Amino acid sequence: MKAIVLAAGRGERMRPLTDTTPKPLLPVADRPLISYHLEALARAGIRDVVINLSWLGDRIRERLGDGAEFGVRISYSDEGPVALETGGGIFRALPLLGPGPFLVVNGDTWTDYDFSRLQLDESADARLVLVPNPPHHPRGDFGLEGDVIVEREHDRFTYAGIGIYRPEFFAGCTDGRFPLLPLLRRAIAAGRLRGELYRGEWLDVGTPERLAALDRRLRGG
């Protein structure tokens, strides 16, 4: 199985840090944030990784190179000066991801989730990892009934930015800028979206304050 780490965003909430450094390269305990995902993917046996690029993408390519430092083989999907959002970015990268299911992980998160445990059965087009709602996202995104993701207004969990998808999930899409949410809702309506709740370590590193807190934590502070 291959994976894509989403790394094209501008990181507006992280400014001014991201004015000169792309968010995936922000240092956490003296290492680029994205390196934790790359090494976790390698430990899970996922060696072929795609990284999508837009804002300061050349910096990411220069720092990560071919991925050998992290135990993976990196290919790059360049989106140009304007990022294609999550849906458009994944769709653009499909030729690099191949015909089978592939793993997706947001590059601006940190987690101890074991990527090798994420599996997709034949009855679904995608499976998402959900987490308990963090303080900055108290309403969550989706409900979970068994392993079936549903839409409802109560008892919801937050999408962790980790999932496994079939290329067929993107059927009917065309190259360009578009979000992922409408496709998730289409899969929910068709009964083809599965999920699991993870209660381990996970953090959306979306602000300088949360980045600093993670840095202190990983340094033992």
What are the chain's domains?
2-218 (3.90.550.10)
Residues of the chain whose pLDDT is less than 70? Answer: 221
Q: How far apart are the first and last CA of the chain?
A: 36
| Amino acid 10: pLDDT | 81
pLDDT at 221: 58
Q: pLDDT digits over 108-118, tens only?
A: 999 999 999 99
pLDDT at site 16: 82
The whole model's pTM is what? Answer: 0.94
C-alpha torsion angle, residues 129, 133, 139, 140 (rounded to 10): -10
